[in-house]
Amino acid sequence: MVKTEKQIKVAKKKSTLKVSENGKVFVSATFNNTLVTITNEKGDTVAWSSAGAAGFKGTRKSTPFAATTAVEAVARKAIGAGIKTVEVYVKGPGSGRDAALRAIKSAGLSISLIADITPMPHNGPRAQKKRRV
């Protein structure tokens, strides 16, 4: 099936998103990757990136440098959309946590709140067997 020119133009059209000066940054730092999402106050995604999307593969995705690169890319998009002040929510035990915070600050975004939202079990189900390295 061949798309006509009219159908292609419709597919590229993006929805307009209301963006104020305030936003939220969600950093999910796992042992293997770092995911960064910037949303508006309502919670709609403005921009996102990850260490993998920034071009890193394998074990280099889990480095602080990869997290910094991902945050810089997503911060540029957010600043272009009009976000100036952000609340940062960090989740996970990965090495990209601190690097992401430093990169947000150096990208020119003003941080109003830093919160750790890492899920902590209140002694829920039995833990997995111990990892042997």
Q: Regarding beta strands 34-40 and 22-29, do their DSSP bridges make them parallel or antiparallel, or are they unpaired?
A: antiparallel
The pLDDT value recorded for residue 103 is: 97
- Domain count for the chain: 1
Q: Is the pLDDT of residue 6 over 70?
A: no
- Helix, coil or strand: residue 84: coil
Rounded to 10 degrees, the C-alpha dihedral 90/48/46/4 comes to -160
pLDDT in tens, 15-69: 677 788 999 999 999 999 999 999 999 999 999 999 999 999 999 999 999 999 9
- On whether residue 130 sits in a domain, the answer given is no
- On whether residue 6 sits in a domain, the answer given is no
DSSP 8-56: HHHHH--------SEEEEEEEE-SS-EEEEEEETTS-EEEEEETTTTT-
- On whether residue 68 sits in a domain, the answer given is yes
- On whether residue 8 sits in a domain, the answer given is no
- On whether residue 86 sits in a domain, the answer given is yes
What's the CA angle centered on 116, arms 85 and 52, to 5 degrees?
80
- On whether residue 111 sits in a domain, the answer given is yes
Query: What domain range is 112 assigned to?
Result: 30-116
Q: At 77, which CATH number?
A: 3.30.420.80
- On whether residue 132 sits in a domain, the answer given is no
Is the CA virtual torsion 90, 95, 96, 97 positive or negative?
Answer: positive
